[in-house]
Structure 1
């Protein structure tokens, strides 16, 4: 596995994308509206910042209300998401998703509960 992206909750994805592009030279690789969010991926040479702007009420809008803008989750790229979930189960990790589900950019995703991962919301991503 390797780091695929860091999910960043924000009130304004376009503004933050412009700032990060100017600061870090990271171009926009992909944009879409998905699951009540405007999602913008910035390319850091094959790893990404995923900027998450809520356009409907949901988990990210609640996160922003409670915590404010900032890192929402860390995503790990795997070639075998089912195997990664089975390994997590074997280690007693509480899963948010028992099975992979469709995610942004057409990838399969599954989340691990932060109670089991040191307070970090972890996402598995299979391209």
Structure 2
């Protein structure tokens, strides 16, 4: 399934203070914030225009599998593509012998479900697939 567009780039920053500094340094504005239970992480999405994609700042909580990302230093975690049907993407990759991180899509923020293609199939890059399932609740 061909992606519809790039949805965002995800960056792990281990504290809210680091996220706030990133926003300040690059003069970025917050569009919305959320929490992803499956990965125990706060998320901040930046505002964007129709010609650009937002940045997702990921702040893992204690116990999050992302807390030790890049040996605890954080950094660019993934690129994300929007698709019409994330489950169809999983089935397509599995039919080619590739694996996703999750057996089925997991809830992201209030408006999306997600799944990730394991990095070994993306030349070392973690690629997220995002399906919009409802309106953003701000």
> How far, CA to CA, are the matches of 1:61 and 1:92 in structure 2?
29
More strand by share: 1
The change in CA–CA distance for 1:102 and 1:42 in structure 2 (over 3 A counts) is same
Q: 1:63 aligns to what SS in structure 2?
A: coil
Q: Under a length normalisation based on structure 2, what TM-score does the superposition of the two structures give? A: 0.78
> How far, CA to CA, are the matches of 1:22 and 1:62 in structure 2?
24
The change in CA–CA distance for 1:30 and 1:44 in structure 2 (over 3 A counts) is same
> How far, CA to CA, are the matches of 1:28 and 1:7 in structure 2?
14
Q: Structure 1: which 5+ residue stretches go unaligned? A: none
Give the 4+ runs in structure 1 shifted more than 4 A. none
Q: Structure 2: which 5+ residue stretches go unaligned? A: 133-138
> How far, CA to CA, are the matches of 2:72 and 2:14 in structure 1?
12
Q: 1:59 aligns to what SS in structure 2?
A: coil
> How far, CA to CA, are the matches of 1:34 and 1:113 in structure 2?
19
Say how many residue pairs are matched: 125
